[in-house]
């Protein structure tokens, strides 16, 4: 009987040790899983960067025009012109609430010259390695502001902080992915400067 009691105590000790180890390992496993999603998101953005380059090559170096109706959103524009075949490329694996269930990424509004349907040329931008093209975004919680009024997933640095900078989604361990004009993808924790003339936005 004494041996049985001792064995039960040993079992309880082992269970306690396993519980402690699990509590230490699970957060690390969750972080590893999120880092894998972050990497997949970055790879998708790089693919989209290649797609944008292909589009500009075919359209005299212009960025994609953006319209106010869903059929003229930049994502639909790429699909209707056969640059993208599936919308899965637009969906970040960490995004639980994509824009109209269609995209996790917003375009830099400054790629538009004077509002929707007026794209700029690539050579307008003087620092392509510092200027954003696509950014992890979140849906507007109030369905108002720059993105909603334009009717297209764009982030407009001319808007208020709440309806511009805070539209950026820090969904990768409190950070976000951003595709730059030169095709590289960065993983940033700090919000960009709320100034359209900052190189991140590229207005001049």
Summarised one tens digit per residue, pLDDT across range 87-109 is 889 999 999 888 777 889 999 98
Phi, psi of 171 (to 5 degrees): -100, 0
Please give the model's pTM, rounded to 2 decimal places.
0.81
CA distance 194 to 200: 9
**Residue partners of 108: CB distance under 8 A and separation at least 6:** 131, 132, 133, 134, 135, 154, 155, 201, 202
DSSP-assigned letter for residue 87: G
Q: Report the pLDDT value the prediction gives residue 115, as an integer from 0 to 100.
A: 65
Quote the DSSP letter at residue 189: S
CA 183 to chain centre: 14
204: its two tokens: 């001049």
Alpha-carbon gap, residue 24 to 20, rounded angstroms? 6
Q: What is the pLDDT of residues 118-171, one digit of tens each?
A: 889 999 999 999 999 999 998 654 444 444 434 568 888 887 777 677 789 899
Q: pLDDT band at 5, cuts 50/70/90?
A: low
């Amino acid at each position: 009987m004494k041996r049985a009691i001792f064995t039960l105590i040993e079992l309880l000790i082992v269970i306690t040790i396993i519980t402690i180890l699990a509590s230490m390992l699970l957060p690390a496993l969750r972080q590893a899983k999120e880092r894998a999603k972050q990497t997949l998101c970055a790879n998708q953005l790089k693919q989209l960067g290649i797609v944008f380059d292909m589009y500009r090559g075919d359209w005299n170096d212009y960025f994609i025009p953006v319209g106010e109706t869903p059929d003229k959103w930049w994502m639909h524009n790429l699909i209707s012109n056969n640059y993208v075949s599936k919308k899965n490329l637009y969906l970040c694996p960490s995004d639980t609430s994509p824009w109209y269930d269609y995209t996790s990424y917003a375009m830099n509004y400054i790629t538009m010259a004077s509002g929707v349907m007026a794209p700029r040329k690539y050579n307008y931008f003087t620092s392509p390695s510092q200027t954003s093209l696509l950014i992890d975004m979140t849906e507007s919680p109030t369905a108002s502001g720059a993105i909603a009024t334009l009717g297209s997933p764009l982030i407009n640095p001319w808007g208020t902080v709440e309806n511009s900078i805070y539209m950026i989604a820090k969904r990768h361990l409190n950070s976000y992915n951003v595709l730059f004009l030169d095709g590289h993808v960065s993983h940033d924790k700090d919000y960009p400067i709320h100034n359209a003339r900052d190189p991140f936005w590229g207005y001049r």
